Chain A
């Protein structure tokens, strides 16, 4: 009498297991697809640089190993390095009036947004970076992500990656603060983010740009973002220049955070809450 019951519940468990497995596999397919996409993307970029290297080796400003490291590190650390990885909950909060609750909380709004952004960026990066790097180190020489060129390069890479993360986040804080002032955050986002991809070396590394533009960028915080860690790894930034480069990153970090914090205080003094 109990036997049909038991087989019935067994069937249910089996079905649940199958559904869970299928569900998990769905996401695994999505994760794999994401990984494959970044791989193909990185490969196409490297093939492109290879074509330019062949066209005119004298004009190529980096070694093949350095450009390979640049491309793979960039692909793996996308969410950490690029200003466009924004927290849309913040924009939604401004629109809906949820901001009022945030303001009542007994802590600093700038700091809480800042920390939340860093957390988001780190979480998104860990999922993507590790599998990508695991495969990228196994590629043939000239294409692979080699080890850092020296212990100093490796350490300064790690240090400057942290500085870059803080600096990029400090930069995006301006986008959030600007949208406190205007209901439609689109304008601020458009103007602040429009060029940042190119100016930070997200499209081509800064050494590939014209000397005049490189000098100009050196005077802005943009040259202190992803360009620094991505080139430190392979020794493309010479040993003697490392202290100055890192100091410049730290300088811009202090400046952007101070400006952002002051601006936010002013913006909040005249805030008009939306929604209701």
Chain B
């Protein structure tokens, strides 16, 4: 596993590929998704219980936000509906990322039991293999819950909805999922160096879900700066929310989620450096 040629061979084909190959990979991915879904539905009662469990646990978080807003009515100028819209969009993005990028979230286990070493030997793109290894459909429980809250909050936010608003909302959701997905990959990339999971990343993944329930500005200027420049969680949450709720008319705020695209750079860098340096765990 330590031959220098191997990791670089497996990491390179992600780029520079013909579009037909890209298309066939997409089909491969779709196929894997279908297989995973079918296999998870085999244990049907267990599947529904897990799904229910996901709903119940994040329902506690929802109740927390709900009772805080019932008591205080507004925080940092945001109303209950604004906050719940924020809560719902972050929860939906997180559960989408968690469903489809679960393989990266469980990366220490992949490294520890040698599954990753087997992946390195297969003639298929590494990222695709990690992605398709685990897809957790039970995490959809949270998605459904987020969607219900979303539907509750949308008509209550003081906004006249235009196609532009819908587009920004969709962009916010999509890019928020993207940032969470990048965080999972980043976490996996760091695992190459530490082998064990680095717990500190939780503050951005689980913490991003927990604390992202409120617009990040309520945590003060310093936190907002960190979440704007370092880990762009605020770019996909606070700034577009300002524009959506009519607190800002700047197009920069509306398009801020696009800025989060740059987060792919450090993510890819850490992943590649880690992969180049990886020499099995020996088990």
Q: Which positions in A face B, CB cutoff 8 Å?
A: 26, 29-30, 33-34, 36-37, 40-41, 44, 47-48, 50-52, 54-56, 59, 61, 184, 186-187, 189-191, 194-195, 197-198, 202-204, 208-210, 213
Closest Cβ–Cβ distance, residue A197 to chain B (whole Å): 5
| Residue-wise interface mask of B (51-77) relative to A, using a CB-CB cutoff of 8 A (1 in contact, 0 not) | 011001101110110011011111110
Asked whether any CB of chain A lies closer than 8 Å to the CB of B207, the reply is yes
Asked whether any CB of chain A lies closer than 8 Å to the CB of B148, the reply is no
Given the contacts A47-B223, A56-B72, A194 and B67 also touching, CB distance less than 8 Å: no
Indicate if the CB atoms of A198 and B63 lie closer than 8 Å: yes
Please, which residues of chain A bring their CB within 8 A of the CB of B131? none
Given the contacts A36-B200, A40-B207, A51-B218, A203 and B60 also touching, CB distance less than 8 Å: yes
Indicate if the CB atoms of A184 and B46 lie closer than 8 Å: yes
13 A–B pairs (Cβ distance < 8 Å), ordered by A: A26-B195, A26-B196, A30-B199, A33-B200, A34-B199, A36-B200, A40-B200, A51-B214, A55-B73, A56-B73, A61-B71, A184-B45, A190-B52
* Residues 134-156 (chain B) with a chain A CB within 8 angstroms: none
Indicate if the CB atoms of A203 and B63 lie closer than 8 Å: yes
Asked whether any CB of chain A lies closer than 8 Å to the CB of B1, the reply is no
Please, which residues of chain A bring their CB within 8 A of the CB of B56? 190-191, 194-195
Please, which residues of chain B bring their CB within 8 A of the CB of A41? 203, 207
Indicate if the CB atoms of A55 and B76 lie closer than 8 Å: yes
Interface residues on B, range: 35 or more
* Residues 23-50 (chain B) with a chain A CB within 8 angstroms: 45-46, 49-50
Indicate if the CB atoms of A26 and B46 lie closer than 8 Å: no
Q: Which residue of A44, A61, A198 is within 8 Å of B64 (Cβ)?
A: A198
Closest Cβ–Cβ distance, residue B175 to chain A (whole Å): 22
Indicate if the CB atoms of A44 and B207 lie closer than 8 Å: yes
Closest Cβ–Cβ distance, residue B96 to chain A (whole Å): 22
A-B residue pairs, 4 tightest by C-beta = A194-B56, A198-B60, A51-B218, A190-B53
* Residues 184-230 (chain B) with a chain A CB within 8 angstroms: 194-196, 198-200, 202-203, 207, 211, 214, 218-220, 223
Please, which residues of chain A bring their CB within 8 A of the CB of B74? 55-56
Complex alpha-carbon distance, A47 and B214, angstroms: 11
Complex alpha-carbon distance, A58 and B53, angstroms: 36
Q: Which residue of B50, B67, B220 is within 8 Å of A213 (Cβ)?
A: B67
Indicate if the CB atoms of A210 and B70 lie closer than 8 Å: yes
Indicate if the CB atoms of A48 and B218 lie closer than 8 Å: yes
Q: Which residue of A33, A50, A55, A187 is within 8 Å of B198 (Cβ)?
A: A33
User: A46 — nearest CB in chain B belongs to which residue?
Assistant: B219
Please, which residues of chain A bring their CB within 8 A of the CB of B73? 55-56, 59
User: B53 — nearest CB in chain A belongs to which residue?
Assistant: A190
Indicate if the CB atoms of B60 and A195 lie closer than 8 Å: yes
Given A40-B200, A203-B61: 19 more A-B contacts, CB < 8 Å: A26-B195, A30-B194, A33-B199, A33-B200, A40-B203, A48-B218, A52-B68, A55-B73, A56-B72, A56-B73, A191-B56, A194-B53, A194-B56, A195-B60, A197-B57, A198-B60, A203-B63, A203-B64, A213-B67
* Residues 218-253 (chain B) with a chain A CB within 8 angstroms: 218-220, 223
Closest Cβ–Cβ distance, residue B91 to chain A (whole Å): 14
User: B47 — nearest CB in chain A belongs to which residue?
Assistant: A186
Please, which residues of chain A bring their CB within 8 A of the CB of B64? 198, 203-204
User: A209 — nearest CB in chain B belongs to which residue?
Assistant: B67
Closest Cβ–Cβ distance, residue A151 to chain B (whole Å): 33
Complex alpha-carbon distance, A96 and B67, angstroms: 43
Complex alpha-carbon distance, A89 and B60, angstroms: 27
Closest Cβ–Cβ distance, residue B75 to chain A (whole Å): 5
Closest Cβ–Cβ distance, residue A157 to chain B (whole Å): 24
Indicate if the CB atoms of B60 and A37 lie closer than 8 Å: no
Complex alpha-carbon distance, A54 and B217, angstroms: 13
Indicate if the CB atoms of B219 and A210 lie closer than 8 Å: no
Indicate if the CB atoms of A52 and B49 lie closer than 8 Å: no
